[in-house]
Amino acid sequence: MHTPPSLDLAICGAGPVGMALAALLVQRGAAPAGIVLVDATPVEQARRDPRTIALSYGSRQILVEAGMLP
């Protein structure tokens, strides 16, 4: 019998917002192994996604704080 891993938090959506949330939670002490990002898009499709993103200044500040932008 397979025992599923113990998780503390599931984030629905692995786009910029979900990834930023996960990064900020880890910075604030959450265990990375206890967080899972769940997304409906298969990984290979997400890698081929040609879209870009426009960020407001406030969104950029959050991503800088999360360590996702310089």
pLDDT value of position 4 = 65
* 27 alpha carbon, distance to own chain's centre: 13
For range 32-47, the mean pLDDT: 90
Q: Tell the burial category of 39 from Cβ atoms under 10 Å away from its Cβ (0-12, 13-18, 19+).
A: middle
The pLDDT score that the predictor gives to residue 42 is 87
Q: What is the pLDDT of residue 31?
A: 92
Tokens of 9: 């938090």
DSSP 29: T
Give the model's pLDDT for residue 47.
86
Q: Crossing angle of helices 57-65/16-27, nearest 10°? A: 40
Distance CA 2, CA 69 (A): 38
